[in-house]
Homo-oligomer: A and B are copies of this chain.
């Protein structure tokens, strides 16, 4: 609409050279007081705004980092995003948020886009094993940090919470409170989180001996509320004598969906079905029946990921990849405590 004003216009207006204006912008201390004031006045008068693209072109890298998550609507990821954004903004970096919806295709599109943007680096929770693509990305010069995930080959930095441990704690709790028919609800199995938590659960069962006859795995297509509701319908449809008496869900959204469906069908929680979720999102404690859940330091996860990225991006010489692992914590609430009066 309006003729864009460039550094050259400012220079003309202030009666100095282009280089001087650039200096005022980037190293104001080396330019004489009087000149500096004159240039700054010109900038204000003309409404000059730096052109970030041009800076980037010159610098070779943009002042931006990419964050690729599985589902923006999941509070787990928004909390992580919060942490990332906090950390990034202290360094003057912007965050490009990309939502893959757990679709490989969208993930690929976004990775391409971020690489073209020459972002400082990419924080990603991959949809599936992405080792090859990510390594290629790194070799071409874009640092990659895995979030809530880990590279088996150690070829990236990563920040994660020990999901096996979390799964084990959740399952051990259910076994201890006497359940024998237990279900694990989650999917798709391509997600590391889903399989790790299941592995942890299995480990708890082994450790407990043979008391639990079978762990029924109910696979969901995604980790959201709707998937939880569908799983709920499936469980409710089972013969009550064979129906699991407890369910461990791969995340809280699934657990809340499951809980909602149980409530709708008047199957009592926790008496007829105990539920344990994962993530301990803010809404878990406020659920119809306060939800037991495995808590993760979400915001911390995001901050740490951003820190690792900055560390790697700034290091000129050989950078050592670091794998940071946090410990989860089981928060027991009413949804898995039989015998308690559910009302207030």
Interface residues of A, Cβ cutoff 8 Å to B: 1-2, 4, 47, 49-54, 56-57, 60, 62, 64, 72-73, 75, 78-79, 81-82, 85, 89, 92, 94-99, 106, 109, 112-118, 136, 138-141, 225, 256-257, 259-260, 263, 266, 268, 282-283, 285-290, 342-344
Contacts and interface: CB of A to CB of B under 8 A. Distances in A.
Contact of A51 (B4, B97, B116): B116
Given A73-B75, A140-B47, A117 B286 contact: no
A78 to B, nearest CB: 5
A62 B53 contact: yes
B344 A263 contact: yes
A196 B106 CA distance: 39
Nearest to A263: B344
Nearest to A109: B89
Interface centre among A47, A118, A344 (most CB of B within 10 A): A344
A334 to B, nearest CB: 10
A312 to B, nearest CB: 10
Contact of A95 (B89, B96, B286): B96
A122 to B, nearest CB: 13
Contacts of A282: 73, 225
Nearest to A255: B286
Contact of A78 (B73, B115, B116): B73
A224 to B, nearest CB: 9
A53 B72 CA distance: 27
Given A62-B53, A116-B49, A268-B344, A96 B96 contact: yes
Given A94-B113, A225-B282, 9 more contacts: A47-B139, A53-B57, A94-B117, A96-B96, A225-B286, A256-B283, A256-B286, A283-B283, A288-B289
Given A51-B118, A53-B118, A140-B49, A4 B60 contact: yes
A115 B60 CA distance: 20
Nearest to A260: B286
B285 A260 contact: yes
Contacts of A1: 138-139, 141
Nearest to A143: B1
A344 B266 contact: yes
A276 to B, nearest CB: 16
A50 B116 contact: yes
A47 B138 CA distance: 12
A297 to B, nearest CB: 15
A103 to B, nearest CB: 11
Contacts of A82: 72-73, 99
Nearest to A298: B73
